[in-house]
Every structure is written in structure tokens, then in C-alpha cells.
Amino acid sequence: MHGSLILEIDLDKIKYNTSQVVERCHRKGIEVIGVTKGFSAIPQIASAMVEGGIDGLADSRMENIIELRNKGFTQPITLLRIPRLSNVMQVVQYTDTSINSEITVIKALDQAAKKLKKEHQIILMVDVGDLREGVLQENVLDIAKQITSFKAIKLVGLGTNIGCFGGILPSSNNLGILVELGHAVENQLGLRLEIISGGGTSTLLLIGNAEIPAGINQLRIGEGILLGTDTTNNRKIPWLHQDAFLLRAEVIEVKSKPSIPTGAIGRDAFGNIPEFTDIGVRKRAIVSMGKQDVNIEGIRPIDERLAILGASSDHLIIDIEDSEQEIKVGDVIIFSLAYSGLLSVSDSKYVRKHFKGSSSANDET
């Protein structure tokens, strides 16, 4: 496995993480939608989620959803980004459900569904404080009433997004508002809402603390299943694997060098002015990986004695002075990934994907 940049993917650990999330959520009457955007909907990983018992799949990119359909995935699929007016036909053709907040788009979806002789389901998104997508709370009843006038659209539920823009934490209070709005829609419009979708991985903490409001019956989980982490709550989820994904990069130089450059400092290749602290001569390694391959802010060496100093587009510089291992040219340094790192490296054509586990397939290049 030397000679290239490799993302090692343990499908058994993804399957296990999925099954654990599903089991805990199902106990509370909550279905789990597996979010595939974090790994660019690579089919082997989506299959591991399905084998783990996921209730449906979801992605924000129509390209990924179309690829899943072309690969034979028949599970219910939800579009997690508000549809564009320019792609409503694709949305109706390839997805079962989409999230929405604009009545103009919903009208266009209705027209597309009529042309395709299909019924399309929508979840009306409500802003409960994070300030990403969603209608304001005071407008929910009016928008829901307008939706009922469309013939090929079915309003199946309300949903909300938490933590992705404003960093707002889910709580029994803000999710309780969503539940109450769902009851109001049902009572005043005579509808039955099948889904009250209460966010994603960050909401798992409320389940563990028995604080999830009754009525929340769907979560959309990506990070927790894939990485066993919860960035919004700044925690590792103790009952999940954190090492289903490992990034391996080969060492191409080892040298002891001063810790500050020599000469006048201008801007680096990305237009930034770097800052350095003089801590003397340090042993450093360069690995064959850079910003063109991965979001450097989203990776960390498994060996905690190593420290990333910085990167150009093609080279990652690491302080290895304190390592207990003798690192030499040709060795491999292993990195764990945060969600931002996984998001970027999964889509990189420069990174080979190597699958492990009982469900593993051949490498994807």
C-alpha cells in the first residue's frame, strides 16, 4: 500500500456504528436517515450503512443521489439541500422526499411531479435558531396551508437544521418548538404529519440524556456513523468507533531544520502571511499530501507526538522531533479525520480508497 495517498475505510466499523445508532434511536421510536454527502456517496460505504439497518439515505448533491440510483440503491432517498428551480425535474425523478422552505420552489416541484405522474413528498424546514434554511416559526401555518393546495405534493413533515451554521445546540426547548408546530399544523389544517425531523448527529446527545422531546421521530445522521464524533458538542461518542477512516501518506523527506525561515517573509502560495515561533532546530518530515488532496485543518496524526506545521498544495510538513519512532523516508504516517477532512478527501481523485472488512470490495482509484 506504499506509493500513494490512501484513505483506508473499514466497512465493518461503519456497519457497526450504523447498527448502534439505529438501535438506540429505534428504542425511542426515531428512524435514522443515513447521510451520504460526507463520503461523496461512495457506494461501498452506503451499502455498509444499509447493512447496518438504516431506514433511508439522504444527500445534498443530486449528482450523488443519481449515482446511488444508478448503482441500484432502492432505499428511500431524501434531498437535504433546498432544490434549485433549475433541477426540480431531477429532484422528483430521483428522490422520494426533499426539504423545502420556498413556496416558489414547492410550486415548481408540484408542476414537475404532475408532468412525471408522481407524488413528491416534502419536509417543510423551520428555523428554530441556527439561521440556516427554514421558514420563520410564525409563518409555518400559512406556508403549510399553501402547500395543501398542490395536487402532486404531499407535506409529510416538519424538520429543522441545528448546528451547521450558527453552531446552535439542539435542546428540549428548540426541538420542543418544532414538535408543537407540528401539532398546530395537524390540528388546524387537519393533516397527519408522518415526520418531525429533529436534526442530526448533535441530537444523539439528547437521546443519551433522555432529553429528546416526544414527537421527534427522525434524525439525519452522517458524522456520528462515519467518524463516531459530534463536532457541535465537541465530543467523541463513546459507544462508536472513531477510526473507520484512516488516511495514510508516505514520507518523502526527513531533515532537521530551523523552526523559522530565513529572510523576509511575504505571503505563502495561498496568499496568507505565515507566523513562526523559534523553538530551535527540529526534525521534520514531509509527506506526499497537500491542500489539493485534503482539507489540512481536518486531519490529525494518530501519533500525538507529531505536530502538523503547515502545508502547500502538494506537501505537508510535520514536526517529528518528539516521536518515539524513527521515522524515515518511505515510511507511512497515519492520520485520523474530522468531518471537514473526510468531506474533502472522499471527493479527491488523488486519494486511493482502500476498503477493509467482510463487505469490502476492490480498491477504488
Is the predicted pLDDT of residue 221 greater than 60, yes or no? Answer: yes
SS3 content of the chain, % helix, strand, coil (to 5): 30, 25, 45
The residue whose grid cell reads 435514522 is: 32
Angle between helical axes of 140-147 and 103-116 (0-180°, round to 10)? 20
Residue 259 pLDDT level (bands cut at 50, 70, 90): confident
Higher pLDDT, 108 or 361: 108
Q: Give the mean pLDDT of 343-357.
A: 95
37 is catalytic: yes
Q: Output the pLDDT for position 364.
A: 61
Is the predicted pLDDT of residue 70 greater than 60, yes or no? Answer: yes
Contact yes or no for 125/102 (Cβ under 8 A): no
C-alpha–C-alpha distance, residues 206 and 224, integer Å: 14
Is the predicted pLDDT of residue 129 greater than 70, yes or no? Answer: yes
Q: Give the mean pLDDT of 225-234.
A: 94
The pTM of the full predicted model, rounded to 2 decimals, is 0.93
Q: Output the pLDDT for position 164.
A: 77
Q: Which of 13, 15, 37, 291 is catalytic?
A: 37
**Those residues with Cβ within 8 angstroms of residue 11's Cβ, 6 or more apart along the chain or in another chain:** 44, 45, 47, 48, 355, 356, 357, 358, 359, 360
What are the grid coordinates assigned to 86, written together? 433549475
Q: Give the mean pLDDT of 35-59.
A: 98
Give bridge partners of residue 257 from the DSSP assignment.
282
Q: Output the pLDDT for position 2.
A: 46
Q: Give the mean pLDDT of 299-315.
A: 96
Q: Return the closest-CA partner of residue 170 out of 203, 127, 200.
A: 203
End-to-end Cα, the chain, rounded Å: 13
Q: Output the pLDDT for position 361.
A: 55
Q: Give the mean pLDDT of 213-223.
A: 97
Condensed to tens digits (0 to 9), the pLDDT of residues 262-272 reads 777 777 667 77
Residue 331 pLDDT level (bands cut at 50, 70, 90): very high
Residue 360 pLDDT level (bands cut at 50, 70, 90): low
**CA separation, residue 324 to residues 11, 306, 320 (Å):** 31, 10, 9
Q: Output the pLDDT for position 269.
A: 65
Contact yes or no for 166/210 (Cβ under 8 A): no
The residue whose grid cell reads 479525520 is: 337
Q: Work out the mean pLDDT of the chain and round it to a whole number.
A: 94
Is the predicted pLDDT of residue 72 greater than 60, yes or no? Answer: yes
Contact yes or no for 31/55 (Cβ under 8 A): yes
Q: Give the mean pLDDT of 331-340.
A: 97
Q: Give the mean pLDDT of 325-336.
A: 97
Is the predicted pLDDT of residue 350 greater than 70, yes or no? Answer: yes
* Percent over 90 (pLDDT), the chain: 86
Is the predicted pLDDT of residue 110 greater than 90, yes or no? Answer: yes
Is the predicted pLDDT of residue 167 greater than 80, yes or no? Answer: no
Q: Return the closest-CA partner of residue 242 out of 225, 222, 220.
A: 225
Is the predicted pLDDT of residue 315 greater than 50, yes or no? Answer: yes
What are the grid coordinates assigned to 27, written together? 428504542
Among the residue ranges 91-105, 281-295, 332-346, 347-361, the one predicted with the least confidence is 347-361
Give bridge partners of residue 255 from the DSSP assignment.
284
Question: Within the chain, where are the H helices?
Answer: 11-27, 43-51, 62-70, 88-94, 103-116, 140-147, 172-189, 204-208, 223-227, 339-346
Is the predicted pLDDT of residue 1 greater than 50, yes or no? Answer: no
Contact yes or no for 33/55 (Cβ under 8 A): yes
CA 300 remoteness from chain centre? 18
Q: Give the mean pLDDT of 194-219.
A: 96
Pairing outcome for strands 235-236 and 229-230: antiparallel
Q: Output the pLDDT for position 277.
A: 83
Q: Output the pLDDT for position 304.
A: 96
Q: Give the mean pLDDT of 7-16.
A: 98
What are the grid coordinates assigned to 93, written together? 425523478
**Domains in the chain, CATH or no CATH each:** 11-236 (3.20.20.10), 245-356 (2.40.30)
C-alpha–C-alpha distance, residues 81 and 140, integer Å: 19
Condensed to tens digits (0 to 9), the pLDDT of residues 239-251 reads 999 999 999 999 9
Q: Return the closest-CA partner of residue 14 out of 40, 47, 43.
A: 47
